[in-house]
Amino acid sequence: MNTRYTLSLLLALFLISCHKDSGVVPSYIYIKDIQVQTTSGQGTNSDDIVDAWVYVDDNAVGCFSLPARIPIIGDGPHKITIYGGIKADGISSHRRRYPFYQPYILNSYTLRSGMVDTLQGAYQPIVTYYPNTEMNFWIEDFTDPFIPFLQDPLSDTSMARTTTPGEYFEGGASGVMTLSANQIYFKAATAENFDLPIGGVPVYLELNYKANNTFSVGLTSVMSGNVVNQDNTIIRPSYDDNGNLVWKKMYCEMTELVSSNLNALYYEIYFKMTKDEGITEPLVLIDNVKLVYGNN
């Protein structure tokens, strides 16, 4: 079991014990979901926030999988701080407080012992990105006919653009990666080079995707006299529980990989794909590709 969830469970059991043994009755807040609000230059507000990281009066209460009923020892007005949590690289054990979302803060929220208060309406948790002055964005939403991904010399095909209804997440277009029956390898990298921060400064690639085949997101580190290509995130097909292809959201955490290449002059992001067993014509659709990173 994930450590944070174990601690949250122990906290809940502790509060129940307090209720039974000492007469202390916890208050509860119920959080159904956390929404994202963006401003100009920050791209889509789509998200996959799966956890709420909750603090009361700046003291950690725990990390809770949404939707969640959260027990709190306290009554009357308190400061409640809620951070949006994600699964980095889509891995359940890699739960992170997403570093680019500012917390949602209620400075004086009245808790009521024994009562469950649902945070909705005027109290709906909404998080925003930190100001553009504190972080950097590179965004590709495929609304421009020009595709800023260049075909690798070894790739059998290039990235294309589609405006077919149902093949884009939003905005009227998406990027397409596919392999025909006689093609076996796809790879394309950003035409733009990036000066990404090292030393553990957060670097993430966000994207929406719809895919019937596995594909990967990787990092090219260009050094003096050397080029290093490293796969960062393996992304599985986006079937739902009923076997339907659906759009999903991914947060690819690239911080460690970037910081491990200290001598890089610049970096590129690439997408790569070969055919899964049993898939004769892979189709991967991507939208709202968003490279987000902190300042050096």
Q: How many CB atoms lie within 10 A of CB 104?
A: 21
Q: How many CB atoms lie within 10 A of CB 228?
A: 15
In the chain, which stretches have pLDDT less than 50? 1, 4-20
pLDDT at 1: 44
Q: Which residues contact 1 (CB under 8 A, 6 or more apart)?
A: none
Alpha carbon of residue 97 to chain centroid: 10
pLDDT at 77: 97
pLDDT at 24: 79
- Quick one: which of 45, 64, 44 has its CA closest to 54? 64
- Quick one: which of 105, 182, 162, 190 has its CA closest to 284? 162
Is the CB of residue 17 less than 8 Å from the CB of residue 71? no
pLDDT at 23: 67
Question: What's the CA angle centered on 45, arms 54 and 145, to 5 degrees?
Answer: 155
* pTM (two decimals): 0.91
pLDDT at 296: 74
pLDDT at 132: 87
